Structure 1
């Protein structure tokens, strides 16, 4: 369990360092063109996910996401104490990852985001993004488990662009990004709606996926 928790904390920390760091780098190099900054942020995040899931998946399952952990607990793949421990490791790792990114770019370590991401469309987008992420994982586990890292990375890369919220799809990521007043930040006031929508999307995907992707019983 210790190795699993370290893998979850380390993976989530590196994920947030990638998200925040590439956002800062993209904004600095884009010359004010938001689309270019977002493209850089997207490519780095998708590529980073493929690597992190590949190397840490065999240790912990590479959830890096409380919504994915809750899905695993609901499917009885993880007991409740382990799920709670995973969640704590993910949140702490995410916060550390944000601070690491700030240090790398010479920014103040302690920040609070002022970037509001409000409105029903933003929250609904997070529900859709998280639904798609969980459905992708469940489908990959059922039909092509070895392709899970690539499929998750590709899905998040796409979801950065087809959702209005740019697809946080992760409560730990959402909370940690409120601690960065940078390109990838989110104001604390916007966090609760995002997290509620993410949990709802994950719950719907878990229920639907349990039916859609279940193995057929022999006749």
Structure 2
């Protein structure tokens, strides 16, 4: 179990998720401003900024909360850790999910304000289609498999680079541009910009993401049967460091 106080972990999850969505939405707005006639270039700019931001945010907040920033990752951590007594508790899972979702909404509001838009502008970008939902299943399953495979094989230290790289790549190889995150999906409904999603499209994406969670967890258990024993090391292991000054973690 993570020994760091719950309030600190929740603050890390809220702040990290908020900054992640700020990066996603803000870079999307900047991309459409700088390259108004080239959608491909807009997506490139958006994906690069998101990948770099995600990696740095995991480095920043990972030692505090694990830097999940994603209810799917937190749910997988809870589920896989049940058999070994590791990972998040049910109460922690609920608290993480709430903090992540509120953080994602705050991130959209912050991005809107930075670019002189109304704080909340609900998106009208429809993303309701079967092929997009399939893209979310693939993106989410791959993300879960990647994160927990790294933890199980003792390579959690490379998660910032690996997760950032995966999400950046999945922008391009999935039809949905890889939201892969229920909290971020909800947050992106609060901005009518390049990265937005219509509120009516949110439920379909969230359902697909949890379907991806089940598939990813199933593949993980088939490939790494002892994955649950590493649930305390997701995404980045939180380590306590002894101090001669008697400081607390």
The answer, yes or no, to whether TM exceeds 0.5 is yes
Instruction: Give 1 or 2: higher helix fraction.
Output: 1
Q: Which residue of 2 aligns with 1:11?
A: 16
RMSD: 1.1
State how 1:117-128 maps to structure 2 within 5 Å. Answer: 117-128=127-138
Once residues 72 and 36 of structure 2 are traced to their aligned partners in structure 1, the CA distance between those partners, rounded to angstroms, is 35
Query: Normalising by structure 1, what TM-score?
Result: 0.96
Q: How does 1:1-219 map to 2 (within 5 A)?
A: 1-76=6-81, 77-143=87-153, 144-215=155-226
CA distance, structure 1, for counterparts of residue 226 and residue 200 of structure 2: 42
Residue 214 of structure 1: how far off its partner (Å): 3.2
Larger Rg computed on CA atoms:
2
My pick for the range that moved more, 153-162 or 202-211, is 202-211
**Cα distance, 1:99 vs structure 2:** 0.5
TM-score normalised by length of structure 2: 0.85
Q: Which runs of 5+ in 2 are unaligned?
A: 1-5, 82-86, 228-249
Q: Distance in 1 between matches of 2:210 and 2:32?
A: 30
